[in-house]
Chains A and B, each alone.
Chain A
Amino acid sequence: EVQLVESGGGLVQPGGSLRLSCVVSGLTFRDNWMSWVRQAPGKGLEWVASINQDGSAKYFVESVEGRFTISRDNAKRSMFLQMNSLRAEDTALYYCATETQRWQQLGASDFFDYWGQGTLVTVSS
């Protein structure tokens, strides 16, 4: 059974930092792109960041560029999201997920196969 377990969320003041972790089991971690997707209270899903299999490629949504970093440790089957200079608008449930990307003749196929249950980040004074 595939399991993704996030941790590290909590209450933090604006301008503060948090480091989220995601531990994966039940699949070959090093073979997968990994991503963070968030859901703000009462809002929809928003992709946040992705990292490729060996960590050499990293992508971020524009709103977190320069503030968040993504990393992974394949030996520990873990992915991390370092969040700095946090803002109220970063308040959300943060999910880690495996991501499949295929660039086909008929278009791009990009979807999230497996997800964790999420860890809640609240930015408030």
Chain B
Amino acid sequence: QAVLTQPPAVSAAAGQRVTISCSGSTSNIGSNFVSWYQLLPGTAPKLLIYDNDKRPSGIPDRFSGSKFGTSATLGITGLQTGDEADYYCGTWDSGLSVVVFGGGTKLTVL
């Protein structure tokens, strides 16, 4: 059972916008910074967002992150078929003293 809660799956049409939620508690998201990762089969996972809303160089601005209270959200605009992947949120948990992840969300682009 993952510490952070994500919807198992989301879908949206190509060109549209989708959001993926990540819910936690005061000991993790509520008091620390959130990161987001994209996992495509057979490829190295990619850091999309760190520190809640910052994009590493090379990540297009179609990807955005936000945090409010004990929840975080990943937004993807202008959906492309290449965005079909599993997405994970992660953060430090001050109670457990480890990095924790969500259970992952599978994005389908219709």
A interface, CB within 8 angstroms of B: 4, 39, 44-47, 59, 61, 95, 97, 100, 104, 106-118
Contact = CB atoms under 8 A, between A and B. Distances in A.
Interface in B53-110: 56, 88, 90-92, 94, 98-104
Band of interface residues on B:
20 to 34
Interface of B: 2, 31-33, 35, 37, 39, 42-47, 50-51, 56, 88, 90-92, 94, 98-104
A100 B32 CA distance: 14
A61 B37 contact: no
A45 B2 CA distance: 9
Nearest to B102: A44
A114 B45 CA distance: 8
A115 B99 contact: no
Contacts of A106: 33
B101 A44 contact: yes
SS class of chain A's interface: helix, strand, loop or mixed? strand
18 contacts: A45-B37, A45-B88, A45-B101, A45-B104, A95-B44, A95-B45, A104-B33, A107-B32, A109-B32, A109-B50, A109-B92, A111-B50, A112-B45, A112-B47, A112-B90, A115-B47, A116-B44, A117-B44
Given A4-B44, A44-B2, A44-B103, A107 B31 contact: yes
Contacts of B35: 110-112
Contact of B101 (A4, A46, A59): A46
